[in-house]
Amino acid sequence: MNPNPFTAIILAADRNAGDPLVDASGVCCKAMIKIDGTPMLERVVKALMGSDRVGDIVISGPQEQQLPGSDFLADALARGAIRWTRAQDSPSNSAYQTMKSLPARTPVLVTTADHPLLRADMVDDFLQRSVETGADVAVGVTDYASINARFPAAKKTVTRFRDGGYCGCNLFAFMTPASHRVAAAWRRVEQQRKNPLRIIGQLGWWSVLRYLLGWLTLNKALGELSQRLHVAIAPVHLPYPEAAIDVDSIADQRLVEDIAGSDR
């Protein structure tokens, strides 16, 4: 075990009532949708348990009584191998409140339950690269070109910068007490998601304009956000296209089933 292990927070609560993905799967909640016969949340927990750099694992939602859909998760919870905490009103608030409950210097990895292709080696690689940046916060990204080449059927949200298009990997490392400012800012932006003018106020008009005009590189954009929040934020480029594949739709589920089945 690494001498300074990360606490992993898994954001696993449902956010949308009547989710067609949940309805079609016939399960109690999205996190318990099965991929290749195993609930997504169980797959993520196993990946984190296999990591050399993760110590504690905290699940933020679903409700405890829903976890017995997996004997593995129920047993892990009963013996204290994982912990459960009540989800808040949004993913960012769940992460923020859970981080506040930890000692200030605890390094934290935040990921999501709908990340069933996550593996222990990806986690270790991401956290090692994150530490090596020397930043307060690291964000996992993969270039869209490699995702499209490997998984042309994947429908991804692409953020385009001057140096290319990138997709997030639902992997965030918060490594210093100062990093909590980013979690707080994430919560503020999420609270204002229906008010774009206030979101732009968080980033600065000039930065947003230059991004829209295609002038900013990814590093420059994160550098300007770092200055705005008085904290160092660094991208971590991951060489795993599957790290950017999550499950938000029935089409995503089918794609991930195909990928998981082909890896057996």
Residue holding tokens 């660094």? 234
Mean pLDDT of the region 172-198: 73
pLDDT for residue 69 is more than 80: no
> Per mean pLDDT, which of 16-20, 204-208, 239-243 is the most reliable?
239-243
Q: Give domain status of residue 224, yes or no.
A: no
Q: Give domain status of residue 182, yes or no.
A: no
Q: Give domain status of residue 67, yes or no.
A: yes
Residue type for position 167 = C
Q: Confidence band (pLDDT; 50, 70, 90) for 1?
A: very low
Q: Give domain status of residue 215, yes or no.
A: no
Task: State residue 15's pLDDT score.
Answer: 63
Half-sphere exposure of 226 (CA within 13 A, CB side): 16
pLDDT for residue 49 is more than 80: yes
Question: Can you give the CATH number for the domain in which 142 is found?
Answer: 3.90.550.10
Structural domains of the chain, count: 1
Q: Confidence band (pLDDT; 50, 70, 90) for 166?
A: very high
The whole domain housing 52 covers 6-176+232-262
**pTM to 2 decimals?**
0.89
Task: State residue 243's pLDDT score.
Answer: 95
Task: State residue 125's pLDDT score.
Answer: 97
What number of other Cβ atoms are within 10 A of residue 134's Cβ?
A: 11
Q: Confidence band (pLDDT; 50, 70, 90) for 131?
A: very high
pLDDT for residue 255 is more than 80: yes
Q: Give domain status of residue 105, yes or no.
A: yes
Nearest of 140, 138, 141, 143 to residue 164 by alpha carbon? 143
Mean pLDDT of the region 32-57: 94
Nearest of 241, 4, 2 to residue 140 by alpha carbon? 241
Q: Give domain status of residue 128, yes or no.
A: yes
The per-residue pLDDT for range 137-163, each reduced to its tens digit, is: 999 999 999 999 999 988 888 888 899
Q: Give domain status of residue 223, yes or no.
A: no
Q: Give domain status of residue 165, yes or no.
A: yes
| Mean pLDDT (the chain, rounded) | 85
